[in-house]
Structure 1
């Protein structure tokens, strides 16, 4: 399959006023928009949601509809959605999958121009749809369904009772979920029962059932027989056009075989495989020709009571649907197992609390199979059972799905290549944890509020993508309760309304960072009522000192050991950040009066948090309980004291001395007894130190702690915890696998931009930036950073006569902190002496152009 190239432009064609567009294979266009009210996306819905007849129970439906077009269309508008996932075909050609994740109460639909695939005369639209059991929508249960509407010139085709539908007989409705956190399931497929060619024009569907249009299924009185099915019906009470780019889909062949051997048959579902590098000589001989596409890979017959194991290494983690084109003996079992990494030369698909195990049974013919849902796969294993005759593998690999990130930000620091390594590891981690949303890791794949906050710290400086941040803010707000409470993640999974109070605080902080970096006032104004309700709720949990005290809900704090009784400093640090950020948002929106209210609350809280200071320990305690300080201390609490300027100058010095002390630790506790942060909470630790003048020490500490993640024998992504094979969350090390890619850990680009390059955004949309000479001795550093207006380029040459080269795009004011140049000598701007009247409040303002400052 060809890859997709993302293009963003203003579009003017008869069916669309404007939108943004992704180029899909076969000249299909995929449209998406930030404006859900656009009439050309939403107007004149007449389609009905459809599914199998009520007497047929199946999680998968095959659907098709043939129709005649009077002429080949010059353009067409095709809208489609499904609960929970569709695979779309037009005239036998695969188009794409969708929709983007959403809750049914704000159901996302895709908009495509299929003109390149439609023709004069007979056409066929076909779809394979899977419903995820457990889907909910507010107080309603989810329903399986497909919605389609095509407008081509003067003709309209809609999903209704005229569509032909059939269950997918090859699918096992008891397919197991990958883990307890998500509703996606593994495949359990019997290809003997597969309906071949249902997507083609010539397929005979005369024996198929007519689709059942879906009427209202809840409420009293019940829907009557005469009641008609409508586009909006429960649980799909609102339709929202796609608001993120379409994913790139690409077939990737597995070309590196690292193990091929027969072993004694075991329980595959609970097995692991020790890797020795052994490759059966018969398989090795044919593998080179297989790689050249000259011939299939021949798998010899099995010895009795044995199982073939073939292990492939993609070289990096790929989010993809495992795929096989294979022919072999009827009823041969092939178990397709995946894993993002291996430990101690042992492969297991039971990893990161997940079970990545698809099972297919061959039909005896040439079978083409692709898993319904993607797996995070660096290692792909085929476990083959029951073949007494040779098997031919024509293709083994994966169908990658990938968010179309564009790498914009880049840095070069020859004196400290490890900083570039951290930068690139952050990018790689964001990339591998993202499909149609920022998700936390391989295991949960949930769009958490705190995940979006930390993702932004990496994304805004590397990819400069705004769609994902906007979408997560909106989708979590859509789940808000009337009292202001928000769930930790959205869309919700089942009836799990998980509440994590620090996630609520970080949603507010994300709203601030989104406005700062995107300048999208429209979306922020729309979300302001949600923010106001949430801030009022958080305020209701505070005591007379302005501190959140003994709240009724849990809070995360990265699950490390922390005293959570009474008023917790870490949680109140998040709340303080929310108060300050919300006050700034209101200030930017010209609501000075209300802004003052929140900054006043912030000042009161900041003052009250001094009660946590322990003079004897010279540290802030974790908690303040009924007028007494906790006897537990952590890096978390003291990081917050530094970040938010809670600590006085003397306290800051004492804290820094303790945090930077070179003592022994086990990544759970330090020798002095304080609890250590996990990788995710490390952001506040390093930001707090750097912001108080300890930039070099902060970066060194960051390097020392994160460097095991950057070793060549890893995926060079940033981990969930300090280990891949254990957790320290209870205060003791416990053996279990953890994700080696965690979005909460991708904050380094924000630190690098701010402290290594001296770049800081100060106005919404990055319309104003301040550049300060960094407190490092690197001789040459070069960087480019994305903004909504284009790339800002910052290059420092630090020597006796130093140089700053900066490129400022149109729409941005760059303010150079002249005082930070630490030089009483003459300063030149573009080889001309800089005069004092060109400097305002110690800042030199530059607009739109290339500049060289010699100092």
Structure 2
């Protein structure tokens, strides 16, 4: 039967019309003022702080629906009658600020209801937030806009609300690669039950309306206002998940600890772990009683058995002043490890009030291991519970893949879990160390969503969020956060992967209006490279950080890799331009690609049957990589007659070597290698005349594209087994690189996409899945089956030996083993492969 299941490709209609709001921007203090004549004045933002807002509403009856929407600068937690309703807003550039919608009917009741909102203002850019350019009234501290329609009436944020800027929360400054805020909570400063009905807020200040304070603002306090512009709906699903508890809990004996109370919690816990061993005998269940008191401390270590991502919730009984310092780790702590900057410095601190003690984290963190250092107070402490509320983008629908090989099936599941751990309000690199939305990394996450998730909204949001070009047309390496905010150097080739993401949307979704809106940015990226086109049509001496891959590839001088990635982008732009009805733009791109093809011949190594990485100072260089050979194929620069030789050369296990300019043998970034590269030192410690540097997990998506394009999709079953090295010691996610890096890195998830698009062989035959191409290539598998989302429903395919059964809601182009194609109507079919 043809599947009729729904695939979510667009956002649901909003309950609110227009861009005008009834709500007012409100804050805890009056606007900072300033002079309307001081155009371009630089405002100083407030430091990190959290503000609590409250109001009440009395209802004679609760309507069937109570639509509400809100946003905040920087982040909010919405609580209605003591029940958390949601968090947000989703990350975005300040002038593309998002809001969230909720139906509050289920949490309201007859009588008096309490609306409470906790708003965090970060003060300085983080990994996922960048400040707005302030105007004297907005963009300087915590502000909120809230409105709800209750029957014919409106409940809006205004100066009838109460506000309290709390001293309970602080956060240490971020340094180096740290981009994830660390929460410090002194519960003695935090009023109990402030978010619940019945709390007496009479001592709180009245909230203040906040105007847009500039010459064109006219004192307006209702959105849309500068510096946020027209507020936009979230456009993606709310995150959620299960509450998870540790698989193991271990407790140390009393330890002497001399750490200063004011130190960073991560520093304090790390120092204690270096000095003291934790019991090897796990405690069975909570509650856990631990000794503590003045001059002594206890370490409690937790293992969740896998990396989990969400907010920490700790319930405890402790004496007033007892300090719980918390360290989140993705790997076990080692007393021998050097304090590499790549190790996450994420954690928290909770200081007990002596009653009603509970730490409910606001910040989302990824962790497998958690270490608690409990010190101070004058009595023993009881840990009643420690849980993580997972906050992940939902993976929905009936998509699946299974085969007769458990190892391969585990890879499929691991890619889904890895991407889900790196999918909240955007696709991120890792949930532990950074949580940054890198514009190159996300293309792999996007492909996993398009092939396994019935909800494609985050796959579309990836291109929308990344559509934030620098003034010269290139994209920031990471969008929304301190990197984009700085406006500094970028990774130019990351923009080319984003271009590929636009092409993916064209193939899978086929939304003409969406593609037309993105094309100007695509063209701007491609034009950014024009000054670096040499007289041979190839790219040379491209500045900034040309990463390409963490593997040891060469991009200096004339670069085959950068040229081929650029030409792939030119070809995709040409196809998109024809789709959008702009043949002139397509002709421009095709002309540049043809000119590059002539000069690209200079990189061909006839002896080895593949392409070298680069030409330096007019001399061809020996190093060749998987990346160079594969990109020559996917760009179309390599003639079809060479593909077999190239694939032989770059997949021969006897000549492949793992090398990285950045990674070390100790499982972390190698700071010496990084320092060398910054000085232009790249040491070849392999046989460059014979050996080929294998791509790291990220760029393997391009390598696998080339293998499939070359008619060897069945070989991917063998090639992807390398990823099994990550699935050990309880980890069920893919790591960053071969032998080093974080253990849950979204960019490594290509095998999941491969199993759907290449092994099962289900991909769009026309834009938007107007028809589907089914080309099974099982390789060493004897049996495989699965369901794949499309905008029209699910395609089901089952292959057992030569027997194929499939059902599709759209016409099918079926590709037999010998390459012949058979056209089939929508519906169910049984065939012989």
Normalising by structure 2, we get a TM-score of: 0.85
- 1:160 maps to 158
- 2:790 maps to 787
Q: Give the CA deviation at 1:70.
A: 5.0
- Alignment counterpart, residue 186 of structure 1, candidates 164, 179, 182: 182
Matched, 1:853 2:808: no
- Alignment counterpart, residue 201 of structure 2, candidates 202, 205, 212: 205
> In 2, distance between residues paired with 1:323 and 1:362?
14
What SS does structure 1 have at the residue aligned with 2:255?
strand
Q: Deviations over 1:446-471 (max 9, x none)?
A: 22221221112322222243111211
Alignment of 1:375-454 (within 5 A): 375-406=365-396, 408-414=398-404, 416-442=405-431, 443-454=433-444
What SS does structure 2 have at the residue aligned with 1:558?
coil
Deviates more, 1:669-678 or 1:321-330: 669-678
> In 1, distance between residues paired with 2:761 and 2:233?
40
- 1:832 maps to none
Deviates more, 1:71-80 or 1:320-329: 71-80
- 1:360 maps to 350
What SS does structure 2 have at the residue aligned with 1:366?
coil
Matched, 1:49 2:39: no
Alignment of 1:117-132 (within 5 A): 117-132=107-122
Deviates more, 1:591-600 or 1:152-161: 591-600
> In 1, distance between residues paired with 2:103 and 2:691?
62
1:76–1:151 contact (8 Å) kept in structure 2: yes
- 1:262 maps to 254
Q: Give the CA deviation at 1:259.
A: 4.6
Q: Classify 1:169/1:123 alpha carbon distance in 2 versus 1 (closer, same or farther; 3 Å).
A: same
What SS does structure 2 have at the residue aligned with 1:382?
strand
- 2:279 maps to 278
Matched, 1:247 2:247: no
Q: Give the CA deviation at 1:179.
A: 6.5
Q: Give the CA deviation at 1:518.
A: 2.1
- Alignment counterpart, residue 297 of structure 1, candidates 288, 293, 297: 288
- 1:492 maps to 481
Q: Classify 1:216/1:777 alpha carbon distance in 2 versus 1 (closer, same or farther; 3 Å).
A: closer
Q: Give the CA deviation at 1:75.
A: 1.9
Matched, 1:710 2:727: yes
Q: Give the CA deviation at 1:57.
A: 7.0
Q: Deviations over 1:768-824 (max 9, x none)?
A: 2222352735332222222122221222222xxx32111112xx1111234x358xx
What SS does structure 1 have at the residue aligned with 2:112?
strand
Q: Give the CA deviation at 1:106.
A: 1.0
Alignment of 1:280-679 (within 5 A): 284=283, 287-288=284-285, 290=286, 296-301=287-292, 305-342=295-332, 352-406=342-396, 408-414=398-404, 416-442=405-431, 443-477=433-467, 479-493=468-482, 495-497=485-487, 498-615=489-606, 618-625=609-616, 627-648=618-639, 651-659=642-650, 660-663=652-655, 665-668=657-660, 670-671=686-687, 672-679=690-697
Q: Deviations over 1:476-516 (max 9, x none)?
A: 21x22454322223223263235221111122111110121
> In 1, distance between residues paired with 2:502 and 2:759?
26
Deviates more, 1:536-545 or 1:516-525: 536-545
2:174–2:181 contact (8 Å) kept in structure 1: yes
Q: Give the CA deviation at 1:634.
A: 2.5
Q: Classify 1:474/1:140 alpha carbon distance in 2 versus 1 (closer, same or farther; 3 Å).
A: farther
- 2:821 maps to 843
Q: C-alpha root-mean-square deviation of aligned residues, in Å?
A: 3.1
What are the ranges of 5 or more consecutive residues in structure 1 without an aligned counterpart? 1-7, 11-19, 22-31, 291-295, 725-737, 823-841
> In 2, distance between residues paired with 1:491 and 1:101?
7
Q: Give the CA deviation at 1:199.
A: 1.7
- 2:36 maps to none
- 1:817 maps to 815
Q: Deviations over 1:606-637 (max 9, x none)?
A: 33211112345544222234644334332221
- 1:764 maps to 767
1:339–1:349 contact (8 Å) kept in structure 2: no
Q: Classify 1:632/1:254 alpha carbon distance in 2 versus 1 (closer, same or farther; 3 Å).
A: closer
Q: Classify 1:336/1:483 alpha carbon distance in 2 versus 1 (closer, same or farther; 3 Å).
A: closer
> In 2, distance between residues paired with 1:397 and 1:266?
29
Deviates more, 1:437-446 or 1:338-347: 338-347
> In 2, distance between residues paired with 1:112 and 1:758?
39
> In 1, distance between residues paired with 2:564 and 2:47?
51
- 2:145 maps to 147
- Alignment counterpart, residue 75 of structure 2, candidates 85, 88, 101: 85
- 1:215 maps to 211
2:15–2:67 contact (8 Å) kept in structure 1: no
Q: Deviations over 1:332-367 (max 9, x none)?
A: 111122112226698999884321221111111131
Q: Classify 1:641/1:539 alpha carbon distance in 2 versus 1 (closer, same or farther; 3 Å).
A: same
Q: Classify 1:90/1:34 alpha carbon distance in 2 versus 1 (closer, same or farther; 3 Å).
A: closer
Q: Deviations over 1:19-75 (max 9, x none)?
A: x99xxxxxxxxxx9377xx68244541322121215997611011122334543232
Q: Give the CA deviation at 1:602.
A: 2.3
1:309–1:381 contact (8 Å) kept in structure 2: yes
- Alignment counterpart, residue 170 of structure 1, candidates 168, 171, 180: 168
1:178–1:186 contact (8 Å) kept in structure 2: no
Deviates more, 1:571-580 or 1:588-597: 588-597
2:223–2:231 contact (8 Å) kept in structure 1: no
Q: Give the CA deviation at 1:698.
A: 4.8
Q: Classify 1:67/1:756 alpha carbon distance in 2 versus 1 (closer, same or farther; 3 Å).
A: closer
Q: Deviations over 1:56-95 (max 9, x none)?
A: 9761101112233454323222111011111111223222
Alignment of 1:6-85 (within 5 A): 33=11, 40-42=16-18, 44-53=20-29, 59-69=49-59, 71-85=61-75
Q: Give the CA deviation at 1:250.
A: 4.1
- 2:805 maps to 805
